[in-house]
Structure 1
């Protein structure tokens, strides 16, 4: 049975960079494509990005089998280490991976996480 988890990462990005880019890279890594039918093949997930100057904090709420948690976290970091992604409309986003950590869901994320675990 899938369980909910949260992965938090920080990237550096130019002021004109699209903060959705790193989340797109995560989607490509976990799903293999931008467009697919649910559920996500590796881990149902949702990424939220918040910019503070040149720093973007990403919170990835995901659900997977507990034995796959470490692999999903590794894949998220791998996607962010790439430092670039091209969106379906051809926009290229660049960033610099600063680090990541295990986190716990905020109260707002907890409800979403339960929904993801049920998919």
Structure 2
């Protein structure tokens, strides 16, 4: 059985950083590579970003077994604390993590969370 969770982070990006890089770093931390074949082995996930000046606000939704939730959060935190990611074009994006931690799902996120929970392609162990 999997449950849905939410995680929030605020990053300060360097001026030339790609807004997609932190999401790539998270996917690599959770799945081994940003361009992997489904399913996600540890946690089906989605990263939404909102830019505010040099700050990037992230909301990461993920679905995993309750006994793996801490591991997922630790991997997300480690990916963001690393402060950089090399994109597919070879460009390195850098940032400083200002905050990162668990938050509650908000009502607007529930439909997406339900999709993460029931998507057979993203269920751990599915083929």
Scaled by the length of structure 2, the TM-score of the pair is: 0.88
The C-alpha deviation readout for 1:12-31, integer Å capped at 9, x for no partner, is 11343211111110010001
Structure 1 vs Structure 2 CA RMSD: 1.2
Cα drift, residue 92 of structure 1: 1.2
1:95 corresponds to 2:95? yes
Distance 1:91 1:36 in 2: 20
1:77-116 correspondence runs (5 A):
77-116=77-116
Match of 1:95, SS state, is strand
What is the total number of aligned residue pairs between the two structures?
Answer: 119
Q: What is aligned with 2:60?
A: 60
Distance 1:72 1:101 in 2: 11
Does the CA contact (< 8 Å) of 2:77 and 2:101 recur in 1?
no
Distance 2:17 2:9 in 1: 17
Q: What is aligned with 1:28?
A: 28
Does the CA contact (< 8 Å) of 1:42 and 1:64 recur in 2?
yes
Gaps of 5+ in 2: 120-127
1:36-47 correspondence runs (5 A):
36-47=36-47
The C-alpha deviation readout for 1:72-91, integer Å capped at 9, x for no partner, is 00100000011011111212
Distance 2:20 2:61 in 1: 15
Gaps of 5+ in 1: none
Match of 1:89, SS state, is coil
Does the CA contact (< 8 Å) of 1:25 and 1:85 recur in 2?
yes
Q: What is aligned with 2:125?
A: none
